[in-house]
Amino acid sequence: SQTIHQWPATLVQPVGSPLSLECTVEGTSNPNLYWYRQAAGRGLQLLFYSVGIGQISSEVPQNLSASRPQDRQFILSSKKLLLSDSGFYLCAWTTGGNYGYTFGSGTRLTVV
Amino acid sequence: GESVGLHLPTLSVQEGDNSIINCAYSNSASDYFIWYKQESGKGPQFIIDIRSNMDKRQGQRVTVLLNKTVKHLSLQIAATQPGDSAVYFCPSSGSARQLTFGSGTQLTVLP
């Protein structure tokens, strides 16, 4: 069966520090992968999506970046975190032709 | 889809009553619609979907109705339970299967 792993669950980082969040999917090949961010009491904001290895599309210009070094691995990074980067980060996947996302359990990031 | 970036509209219902959550969409070319449920501190979960060639689809205690004429989607939850308290989303879809999630609707089930 397919599963999605996202870690860490919570993270507290100082302003200006780097960030690396990892997401991996098991049990499927060539998934579409997505990173979303959710501020408290708000909807989900699409940050990046990838339809294949090395293919990254950015939805929102900001100090975050994403990479897909392997088929089932999606990484969200920042060189220097801002206070406004705080939020709930969610990774999701789906297969081509299917809109039914499966989300990871999320990472609660607090920048202090 | 829903308005993006606004604070959540809310809906409160008594336990045991039926709930109806509404959603409007703007893209008349949309051919697939999904409802997600997000409990506090968790990622959204798929509830039910419907294709544009259907008007109604039923699941376990949930029914989705699609009115393409007025571009309106609704989620009906029968005999609402405390575990149904969550935020409900009806995202709009893009060309690369990316979903745009609006602010959602916060459903609160009252005892």
> What pLDDT is stored for residue B2 in this prediction?
47
Helix, strand, or coil (residue A38): strand
Cα separation, A40 vs A38, in Å, equals 7
**Nearest alpha-carbon partner for B74 in B17, B26, B15, B25:** B25
pLDDT in tens, B69-102: 999 999 999 999 999 999 999 988 776 667 888 8
Cβ–Cβ gap A99/B97 under 8 Å: yes
For residue B26, pLDDT over 90 is answered with no
Q: Over the stretch A20-47, which tens digit does the pLDDT of each residue have? A: 999 999 988 899 999 999 988 788 999 9
Q: Return the residue of A nearest to B30 by Cα.
A: A99
Nearest CA in chain B to A6: B43
Nearest CA in chain A to B90: A43
A95-110: pLDDT as tens digits:
866 667 899 999 999 9
CA atoms within 13 A on the CB side of A53: 6
What's the mean pLDDT in B61-68? 95
pLDDT at B21 over 70: yes
Query: Mean pLDDT of all residues in chain A?
Result: 91
Cβ of A19 under 8 Å from any chain B Cβ?
Answer: no
Could you give the CA distance from residue A41 to residue B98 in angstroms, rounded to a whole number?
21
HSE-CB for B22 with a 13 A CA cutoff: 6
For residues B90 and B65, give the distance between their C-alpha atoms in angstroms, rounded to a whole number: 12
Among all chains, which residue has been given the structure tokens 């860490």? A8
Tell me whether residues A102 and B46 touch, CB distance under 8 A: yes
Q: Dihedral of the CA atoms A69, A77, A52, B1 (nearest 10)?
A: 160
Residue ranges of E strands in B1-111: 10-14, 19-24, 32-38, 45-51, 56-58, 62-67, 72-77, 86-89, 92-93, 99-100, 105-110
Q: Where are the beta strands (DSSP E) in chain A?
A: 3-7, 10-13, 19-26, 32-38, 44-52, 55-58, 64-70, 73-78, 87-94, 102-103, 107-111
Chain B nearest C-alpha distance from A6 (Å): 11
Whether A94 and B97 lie within 8 Å, measured CB to CB: yes
Which A-chain residues 75-104 have CB contacts (< 8 A) with chain B? Answer: 90, 92, 94, 96-104
Q: According to the model, what pLDDT value does residue B20 have?
A: 94
Highest mean pLDDT among A58-67, A88-97, B34-43: B34-43
Q: Taking the CA of residue A6 as centre, how many other CA atoms within 13 Å lie in the half-sphere pointing to its CB?
A: 26
Chain B contacts to A (CB-CB under 8 A): 2, 4-5, 7-8, 32, 34, 36, 41-46, 49, 89, 91, 93, 96-104
pLDDT band at B32 (very low <50, low <70, confident <90, very high): confident
